Amino acid sequence: MDNASSNTAIRVIQQEHSCLAAVIKGMQHFTRVIAAGGKAPDLKVFRAMLLYISEYPEKIHHPKEDHYLFAPLRARTHEVDDTIAKLEAQ
User: What is d(CA 42, CA 25) in angstroms, rounded to the nearest whole number?
Assistant: 16
**Entry pTM:** 0.76
Handedness of CA 50, 56, 57, 58 (dihedral sign): positive
Residues 6+ positions from 26 with CB-CB distance below 8 Å: 49
Which residues of the chain fall below pLDDT 70?
Answer: 1
Q: Give domain limits for the chain.
A: 3-89
Residue-wise pLDDT tens digits, 18-40: 999 999 999 999 999 999 999 98
